[in-house]
Chains A and B, each alone.
Chain A
Amino acid sequence: MNMKKAATLALGILTSVGGFFDVGAIATSAQAGALFRYQLLWALALGTILVVFLVEMSGRFAAVTRQALPDAIRQQFGFTSWLVPFAVLTLIHFLTLGAEIGGICFALHLLTGLRVSFWALPVAALVWLFLWRSTFSAIENSTALLGLITLAFVVAAWRYHPPMGQVLAGLLPSLPHHEPARYWYIAVGLLGAVISPYLFYFYSSGAVEDEWDESYVGVNRGVAAIGMGFGSVISVGAIVVAAVVLAPRGIQVDDYHQAALMLTQVFPFWGFALFAVSMGIACLGAAVELSLAMAYTQAQTFGWNWGEDLDPREDARFCLTYTVAILAAALLILFGVDPLKLTLLSMAINAAVLPFVALPFLLLMNDRKLLGKHANGWISNSVTILTLVVAIVLAAVSIPLMFLGG
């Protein structure tokens, strides 16, 4: 394998740091561990399997057709069919971007003691400057490298020596002993946090930015598995830590402040700061990824020139899309929207729209005229359809249940 192909792992890790282990995963993992200890690990495992397959598929699609997903979806299904999903996705991306910016602001609030809303505009400026000035590979490499700090959750989980029997038992779904509505709602939240639609738009556009061709099909498989595996292991770490630290004290995580206690036992002196920095970096990765996903989707839908490596004068509309998106999303936080509530809301919506994102995608992946011999085989199809059915049933049952039950 040559160096260029080995370096594509950075795209996988970036996608994972931003798309997998983000503000949603932190919030839902903390809640899952605090309320149900290891019992919800199965939801994470289910989400991981689905996300590995879907990410692999979107990378393979981009490598073979040289098209990212929004581009291909508009072409294959037509402008009028794409318009409504496009509008819905733009709204979800916007809310999730707000949640991620809120996550960075919260991390800075933990470190400085200044109010969350105070940080909204400085954080927006930071995210924007990162995108405005950096090339795609600089963003990939720096975020992938910084993202390694989130391994703190895995180290902490390891040091706590969790009961392995219970951890493994959690990988199999079981019925809750208490608060069933919360249990299923958090299960759906975990799925929504893990499988966010923007992941696929971002990853496939990234593959086009990195100029993948058919020879990347094999590398892509490894990148998807290792990259998403990385995010999954960290989320497992976060659930375990929450189970050990928060659950025995009856801390329920209605507020990010409670989640911040997670690392203070293993790292007494700097656990608090470590949590804040991990959270800040994970959310920064996600904010960058979301802003780009929004700009990619917008530009590809209308055929504008796009590319993170271009001089902004060559793709003015692309750059202005992420500029406006970042500013508007930061306003949510500036005007005092609660970051945790915004996160949980966007995770639930993410899970609810999942079928509408995945089904057209599955159709594309089975189109032999587009993909030839690289079209989906029966393994990809059956794994995706099976996990998808489980996700749909969960979402259909739990979301109304939660709103009815309060």
Chain B
Amino acid sequence: MDGRNNSVLNLVVLFPDLLGTYGDGGNAAVLATRARARDIEVRVSEVTIGEEIPEASLYLLGGGEDGPQRLACDLLKDGGFVDRVAGGAAVFAVCAGLQILGTSFAIEGDATYPGLGLVDAVTTRGRVRSVGDMASRVGERMLVGFENHGGVTTLGPGVGALGTVLVGRGNDGVADGYRTPGIWATYAHGPVLALNPWLADEVLVELSGEPAAPWESVADRLYAERCATINSRRSDAARIRGSR
């Protein structure tokens, strides 16, 4: 595909004017910086309402409010996006983006809206909104982030979660997001890749097909600090449970 030619990493942020409520645009900046640090050539572009969706190595989808989420979904249905992803373009999606890629989602009250159907994932409205720190176990690592959403997402058989929830709700209090070939999705909104440099590097490794040389930055300290905060909270919670 064009987007992968000449080993240029082509990152396309989709509709930041609709989906980008919580600094989600930061994820593209993180990938670009970390790729350039490994001498990988990167191009970052944004597609706004009314523009055509170009080819990409990786599309990034952020979070948004109900009305904009529905509009973004409509624009993605019409724009050839589904075919490109089915044809191998990768996607990194958070929050509303996670819901849009799925089979259906709930908006504006409890109305069900059809999603893009790229992933067998149904989102309904939860009884309460989940707002706060979120953490999950992804393989050997901890993913740290912040969630703010009212959705409950149920994955179909054969769809693997991205992580197992340690703190917060994620999809349903047990699993967070999903991971299918070429697609990463999480409820950890905002610049989740800024908080989790290892995940940014995993995405880069998969996109470039080459191992990523270590690259130290203050982001590693931030990640360690967030993990320590989560761990101390979890051990407090365990102590409280144990003392009962």
Are A and B a genuine interacting pair, yes or no? no
